[in-house]
Amino acid sequence: LEKNKKPYILFTGHSLGPTSQFEDITKESYIETTNHILSVLSDCYLNQDVKLYYKPHPREETIHFDLAGFEVLKEPMTSEMLFARDRSSIKAAYSVASNSSATAALMGINSYALYKLYQYPDVLIERADRRYELSAVKKPANMEELRNSSIEVRALNKYDESDVGHLKAIIEKIVADVS
């Protein structure tokens, strides 16, 4: 991936962690929902002049998803580093429920956390809701809202002092939730 390249969409992967923590989330349903999401995004961005990248989660040893239309990004850097380097090239960033979504939003990138599209137990939904309550991350609740995300326009904001304070509050909230 080269700096200052054509605009792109970034979908950050998520390990299959929830499938091992909650018996009502099967690996099959998680993969099926993720594949549906990836397919919708691929279709939505088909006629736009953007690349679609899938960035595996660091703990994602095997990619279980159908990535038709996506290229696997093998950059040896975190999503946050990509956001800092390429923020003017990234049209949107998607994740299931990654902390990187809050960082992307803070950097002025259209950011979407897709956890509401999964059949997650209430405890996971509530945890994710708290994670993003202080950020501009959008949380599509259905596939139509996800489709509409491909036509949203953003104005890239410059960093300011409040961004640092805002990021600090988000990180402190996440640390408190994990503790």
CA angle 25, 94, 54 (to 5 degrees): 90
CB 137 within 8 A of CB 102: yes
pLDDT 10s per residue in the chain (179 long)?
Answer: 555 478 999 999 887 666 666 677 788 888 999 999 999 999 999 889 999 999 998 877 778 899 999 999 988 888 989 998 998 899 999 999 988 999 999 998 999 999 999 988 888 899 899 989 888 999 999 999 999 998 876 544 555 556 666 766 777 777 777 76
pTM of the model: 0.81
* Side-chain half-sphere exposure of 134, counting CA atoms within 13 A: 16
